[in-house]
Amino acid sequence: MGMKTFKYCFVHYSSMLSKERLKQVLAEQRDSILKRDFGIERELLKEIESKIRLPHAVVITGIRRCGKSTLLRQIIKKFYADSEFYYISFEDERLLNFRAEDFNLIFEALIELFGEKKTFFIDEIQNVENFEAFVRRFCDNGFKFFVSGSNAKLLSRELGTKLTGRHTDITLNPFTFSEFLSLRGVKFEKNMLYKTIEKAKIKKYFDEYLAGGGMPEFLIYKDASSLAGVYEDIVIKDIAVRHNVGDVHRLRELYQYLITNFSNKFSYRSLNKIMGMGSVNTVKKYISYLEGAFFAKTVGKFDYSLKKQMINDKKIYISDNGFIKVISTRTTQDRGRLLENLVFNTLKISSNPFYYANKRECDFLLLKNNEIKSAMQVCWELNEENREKELEGLIGALKEFNLKEGTILTHDEEDELTAEGKKIKITPVYKWLLA
């Protein structure tokens, strides 16, 4: 069924908005997205370019306020000439209670306003129940969709059942260190790392990035309340309201504990005992909500047995270092753990990290094609107090998985050594991030 057939088969549903009022909303939204600051060009645009010609809906997910709408703006400008698109934002309170069956009315209003287009950009689409039926119907008739949302499980569940084989998922994270440097006006080139003044600037900016993270709004305005506000919206709107959580106080206490103790080992059973949650299943459920909102991610101890992986102690990492300073109750920050959190958030983009523990621990094992391919240790610095422990943990992992070399990431040390027949490369995290 082509566009012209579509044009004459609208069914008019009763809506909370009249068509004229709806047109006003849609016109204002289009103006708003076109007036949005283009911002720092996101690295993900390169990946998205390869998806343009695919007949799939491109689903962009990520934590609240990490720049999804700005990314949509960049796609509109770069690939659609700021004209060949429709835009709808369901974060707009005027579209609250909008029903999926009213999409035809929206489509009719869009055609009357802007003419016939073949590409939809839809922000926070998960706020409309059964949205996936509309997306599928239009995809099947040759329309392209870019949709954004800030709830991973909601999107994947609904799209997975109704859009099997018709969507491709992309996760947008807070700024990478390269994007952070661009925001600060530094166009990075590799030779900068060999020039004293430029290298000193990069190290200074890295320390700022390590402590403050990469959430765009916070970096631009330097107002910690913006991070606190994002966290509050996640806890209340994305979790408590959406999942009908009754005891919000207990939920907050659990999250406060996890954020304060990020990167430390825990078990669901021990958490239940400490927090008095009532059941282990409640603890698991609440943590899964936090992960589903992209705020945190749990990491398991590697084991070839999936059953053992499930029951082994976990660690949790926070999606951006900026939140840790704002929400954690720890009075002094462990810089080594901040470094580890940052490294994890970089690794998770392209792999599924595990930790290793035997007599000693190794921070990260990276799996590829069901084989451990690399092992990595993270510490602020190697000194007399921790050298033996850090090396033993890494070498233990290298031996266990028959790897020839491993990496120790530090704040500012660079070296290469051989220990027990294993090659160990010691690299500053800022260099590793920019490699």
Within 8 A by CB and 6+ apart from 301, the residues are 309, 312, 313, 314, 354, 355, 356, 357
Report which of 360, 267, 359, 361 is spatially closest to residue 316, judged by C-alpha positions.
267
Cα-based distances in Å from 421 to 41, 396, 404? 44, 12, 8
As given in the structure block, the two tokens for residue 404 are 């020839």
Burial class (CB in 10 A: 0-12, 13-18, 19+), 38: exposed
Q: How many Å is the Cα radius of gyration of the chain?
A: 24
Instruction: Report pLDDT for 101.
Output: 83
Where along the chain do its domains lie?
3-171, 177-212, 223-333, 340-434
Instruction: Report pLDDT for 158.
Output: 67
Helices assigned H by DSSP within 189-223? 196-212, 216-221
Fold classification of 3-171 (topology level) = Rossmann fold (3.40.50)
Instruction: Report pLDDT for 3.
Output: 47
Q: Biggest alpha carbon distance in the chain?
A: 77
CATH class of 223-333: mainly alpha
Q: Are 78 and 200 in contact (CB under 8 A)?
A: no
Say whether 117 sits in a helix, a strand or coil. coil
Within 8 A by CB and 6+ apart from 169, the residues are 59, 61, 155, 156, 159
pLDDT, one tens digit for every residue, the chain (435 residues): 444 444 434 333 344 588 999 999 999 999 999 999 999 999 999 999 999 999 999 999 999 999 999 999 999 999 999 999 999 999 999 998 888 888 999 999 999 999 999 999 999 888 888 888 889 899 999 999 999 988 876 676 667 677 777 889 999 999 999 999 999 999 999 999 999 999 999 999 999 999 999 999 999 999 999 999 999 999 999 999 999 999 999 999 999 999 999 999 999 999 999 999 999 999 999 999 999 999 999 999 999 888 998 999 999 999 999 999 999 998 787 999 999 999 999 999 999 999 999 989 999 999 988 899 999 999 999 999 999 999 999 999 999 999 999 999 999 999 999 999 999 999 999 999 999
pTM above 0.85, yes or no: yes
**Distance between CA 110 and CA 204 in Å, rounded?**
49
**Distance between CA 125 and CA 148 in Å, rounded?**
6
